[in-house]
Structure 1
């Protein structure tokens, strides 16, 4: 960018011009102008502007030095923006033309002309005059174009201006320095008074020269009232004590670091410094700063007492594992003789598994703290101690781990007790879960709070399903009021024993159980729950029923035997005389018809008597090896035509591999035929298409024969085998058929049961007969061979 100096405006006249150069009036006027400026920066700018005015249109700038670098502090020019950019770019490089010229001017301390190479401006020559003060170094620079020259008189004028400028700058710098000193002194005094710690200054004679506001307020005196007093007077010390209790030896600069005030008992940390005067002869002063650490020392003492007297073991350790501090409880806990002995051991050596130390450290580094972390440590004698650790991390300002700190609670005894309790609990649980009785604990609301495994199995769920439910849920609905009454009785403090209840799961009957209910009491004697022990007595009940039935059958058999003999004798006479009368040809047809009725009814009565005698005698069967399937097929053949004519479907499901049994084939056929007849009657009464399924199989070492029909079912299955019990119409049955079947099966060492079908209509009769033993087969084979 080329520089073109504009012409001076018409009528323009400088405030001081070059025409006044050399005159005293001009220099005085110039000095007054500079002196009137408010600050150093304004002075420098005014120097540039005045010089630019006197040498118009020359560009004038003031270039200052600061820490070895130069910067443009003031500029006056007709094109100030472009000239400032050009000059500042040149000054930014240490070896450019302006920088070199300024440095030479300052180093040689005289006015010089230097050539410039600023290709982007019209500047050709640089004329610099140094302005030096005790505080700064500045160069008054005139930037001349190629057609501008400075005469000797003009150089002298610039020299005079520079001298006046030097004095003005020095005056402003001294004024600013004085203001800074004054301001610093005021700030120091304010800082001195604003410090909350106690501060005092004294001279070499140890007499007070200044105290801060905090100390004067503590003393309750104005700062001026204590000036000149010995330091000891401030703290109530006797006159025989040193004038300053904090100075031990001023020559060697030994000072007390801690001081306890006798009057109040407060403890202070003392920081002391020597303040040197500017001149050699100036007296030196000592400043003492007293920081009240009474509270912190008390807290430290309490912390130390707590640290040393707590029952838990406490420790500080470095990240590397070195123990920094431990308390006496930890020393005792780990079985060491002294704190020093334990501190000589690394933390890694205390772990049963050293890798656990690294795991603990990683967890602490990640989470910052650990709560109730269980550890196994080694005592000094090698035994194991179990502890609960609560620890945390101490970090520096950069976030790096400095220490691990924690407390350890000895839980070895608790662990042993827990282990013992756990073993006892497991033992008791094993007993409760392996007993065949159902055991449950019920609260006062009637809800189950505990159930053993057998109880859960019967209830058909897991323990979580049973707990919280009502016990009556597994009792048949018809007997639930009985259980509720028993529970109410137990909650009143009474025990209920041998309460027989049928248990059921949904609609399926499980069996009969004997229930014993006992109250459980709290320490104050109140009933807070009850224990229910339920024993399965289904088999016992069945055996009792069978025993009662057997005894009843035996009694009926004895009765029937006597009655049959007594009836048979007159019946024989009636039948005989009726036959004789029928042979009399003199009788008319009406009489003969009546006699024929007598004969028929007598025959029927004799048949009934024969059945009664057969039932009563229960003669031992003639036992041989019997193929059950073959006997069943013969029986079916007797009834197949009749069943087919009535539309009854007969299904055979025989096990072809069924082994033989020992029995009387004729008696067994009688049993099978009787049951088959009853089935036919039942399906015909049902009024639907009849179906009878006969199945055989080997089950649990017994041959099982099942007759399953879809008839009307059995209304009284518990009485079906009782003598003379029948549900048929009068004249269609005597009630002895199934009783005789029951006796035949018992004579074959078997059993016969009946029940209504659960999932369909009808009933099922099941006969179970024992297999033929090996010794029996051999004996029967030998008997057959000898017979042949």
Structure 2
């Protein structure tokens, strides 16, 4: 780095005002010999001529012997033009006049040369002068680099979007690195998206975009280049030495040199910085070292900004969901101040959002309840055990709403405080009923205390009041249960009798636990029941009750305690309502959100997999069409096609699971033992490496049956993987036993291991439930397997054994109903001579294979790699049929191309075949349903492709039937 900054061409100006050339004649030869670029000036006119032309020098040798005052004036003028140039005075031998010396020092002179000038002494002085110049330059450059590194570190700590950070980083790097083109590429691992920032100074382009693939050839070239070598790439003077690919890529952009610096996270490439020059700038190790110092900070900052952008998008979705929720939702700080209230809350309470932002929860609470609610709220901040607040809210217009507030406390790092998310439920009607019951109880007690002189009248009134109260309690839909302090049933109302099937005479005096609490949940609820009986439970408790026929219902109970004269609990009144459906709906909502996320993810994966699968399948079938293929080549091609079909079926099964979409099983008449052996072969090496013993107890007389080979192999692989994970870290040697047998009209397949066993059998086949460590399981394997086995009419169960676990798959034995599925054979009688077809496909390999096939059938094919190219082709020529991909990059999508054709060429309706590998996304699915156009899904067999084109050509009259 230092060597790159030292002085190369050394420029010296010799000034001898009033002097003669002969005085320095001996020095000219010395300067030439030492490769100094030297200029001599003997009068002020020539001096100012040089200075006006802004010619720069490193050192000025100034002869100061003559006319002192004029020399000083010349020096002052000289310093105005060359403030940073070092001036060395040339004086006669001996001491310099003190006045002259002081004035010279004030002008910044450095060193001193005495006459007569000797080459050796001059050489030493000039060496020290140029060493100082080089040192000053190095220090200045180092200071500049430290400042830039400091600024970049400051950027890393700032809270910016991806684009803003790239803008600031670009400005900092531009201070020390000369470039005409600058770009940053980052890959967001979780979504697979590329963040691309681009600045082209020459063409005045400033762009930022997020896409699933790199859209420019230049960025794609640099990203692939640096990913191959794994280190920074620096190339200069490309016009001299450039390989053929680089010439094709870079000549059009007039690029002369470039530097590509990779960015890594955990040794994995996460992006790169591209710096290019079109004006001949040179890039060196110095530039690479500078970026090297801050690359880690830059990488972290880019990841943080991408997470920030993603978080901003998620927050917007969350905000929309909260705003449109059918319940009141509050967001408050630890002091109860409102941070946010959704639209329904603002409407019901009658306040604006600005007004609510200045209010606290306790401003809406009636004054008599404020102290209690504050205490409960503060306890919630300390230990959030009971997250329900039961209170009343006052609207702006004085209306009282009885509510239950369900609170969730989370720590917000941005606010450095607890944040409370609250869901508010209006329970005014239920509270009114409880209030009436309480009021009648109070009135009843007051009547009992009246004097004996009005006893008969009091008894009469009490009778009517009790009758009214009994009727009210018996006819309400709220469940009412009264128990004593020992848990014995004292009273149940008619709602309990109707719903749970027990009359009062059947349960009176019996333990509420023995009658109503489900046996299998007794242990989990024991602590809550003890707290309820002791009087320490609070105002609410959720306890399940079982009906006479053992159907369990979730009931939310409001608890009221009656105490005797010794302040001991005598009776406990429970007022409850059924929340079973609410709990089920809540679980279904959570499950639906998970399945929706999975569906979106699998949709993207399916689209990305179906294109390469189409290429493999299409070229494989093209090779199979060739004549004189050897038997070994035919077998290998058959393996390739079988494997691609298997991958396509796996993708189809995943789509089916995530979207509940029905798929057609491709059943074959096969032996289960063969499928099991194939599945085991895929995992056998890993089992042996981990010293896991595999025993195959396969029945040799197992009958054949009709199954889908690919789906069944997927089930077997999932079960083998589960067993492998269970026994891999076992203290003893892991054992996996595979058994097959016949039991009646079914085939039984067993997978037994000596692992730790099944932990929770009830959730065994629940999607997303897994007992594996984070990152080692998705909770989908058994759920998918369950669906596949069920569709085959079979069953799958898991049980614990004394030494581990065993999974049993039972499949019905089916007689052969059709022939085995073989590779579709291309019909050779298709004749498309005279048919003019436009093929619109951005995937080059798919387009090539389809065009090659159609050409062999006599079809005249025109290919277009984008929707824009297709529009140009349609405007120039007439086509009988258009085959087009739906999802294409660029300015115009496949959907927009279809709409353009329907608008400008309505006659093309019914002459368009759509191709896509993504029928799951909302946009594509809705468009396919709306357009009613013919569709062929990727990957496809050529036979289906040709049949679709042949049928359309005959239907439209393009070919005669």
TM over 0.5: no
Pair member with larger Rg: 1
TM-score range relative to shorter protein = under 0.3
Q: TM-score, normalised by structure 1?
A: 0.27
